[in-house]
Structure 1
Amino acid sequence: MRHIPSTIKAAAFAAVASATGLAAVTAVPAAADHHMEKEAGTIVDIAKSTGMHDTLVQAVVAAELAETLSGPGPITVFAPVDDAFAALPDGTVETLLKPENKGALQAVLTYHAVAGKVTSADLMNLIRQSGGSATIETVQGGTLTAMPMGDNIVITDARGRQTKVVKANVEASNGVVHVTDGVFLPG
């Protein structure tokens, strides 16, 4: 499998949040279209504007990553919707948001980010070149595996959990956001 190396060290970006690039996604829930389409704000601006990423924004603030995700980038972020966080086991989000768990929260959020701008076309090319799946290195240092499944791109995390990209290529001034229906958990 081909890797997308992270050129930005985790120490330099030890505070990015969310995710990576995806491919041509056709199954897009109507709610996913609330992403900014006009002037592209930063990744944080986009997350704040949707009404679907309130938990993500709360986590980014608690992890003290908002400034990093508003920086120059470029960064690719897989941004879980609120329902994705709600689907985690009871108490997971609340536990991660506690100040004493900031390091663990940062690890989860940076596992959703990839250094550089990876569009869905870039990811599909890597998947094709790699024979059907592509391994992506995250800012956190872990890996994700991307592969097509029907009309969607599915991302598998270190725990084997599969998450669908429901909207790809939301342009940000400092990168790109791909909206997901699940939360990635590092190994």
Structure 2
Amino acid sequence: MTDNVSLVSGVAKRYASALLDLAEESGATADVERDLGKFEGYLNESEDLIRLVKSPSFSAEEQISALSALLDKAGITGLAANFVKLAAQNRRLFVLPDMIKAFRALLAEKRGEETAEVTSAAPLSDDHVKALTEALASSLGKSVNIAAKVDPALIGGLVVKVGSRMIDTSLRTKLNSIKFAMKEVG
């Protein structure tokens, strides 16, 4: 039986790789990166958009129509807009968030950069992002991009993932450790 995660991952990487090749050929890599980031921002903010992207109950035509209106309003054009519409046309829209992540990962690899996924309890200030970027860059010995997410359940602290490594300094994890230690004692 095929593992669903690896199937989705393979599709995402193939689409992202093709998009990166097209973007490089046309000299529009920066535009595509910016536009995909803008689209991802809308995706992170809107439950309705997530439902449109993930739900198989919408037809490809309905998805393309709704996305075309959003892309026009957001000013997302060119390769990025065509890419989103192609994913909808091919009924692969549910993989689009993974395609965007794969595109960023491939682009970062080409640039010799590392991407750090940072999850915090509250949004990080620009100063915190800058300090964290500098600390990770000096630790890793290469340029680092921060992909920040907010998870209030962490209570405080950070969870930093770089490649297969993870550093969890969240209060939630520390409190859980204390809770388990107290259970063992009592």
TM-score, structure 2 length as denominator? Answer: 0.28
Greater helix share, structure number: 2
Which one scores higher on RCO, CA 8 angstroms, separation ≥ 6? 1
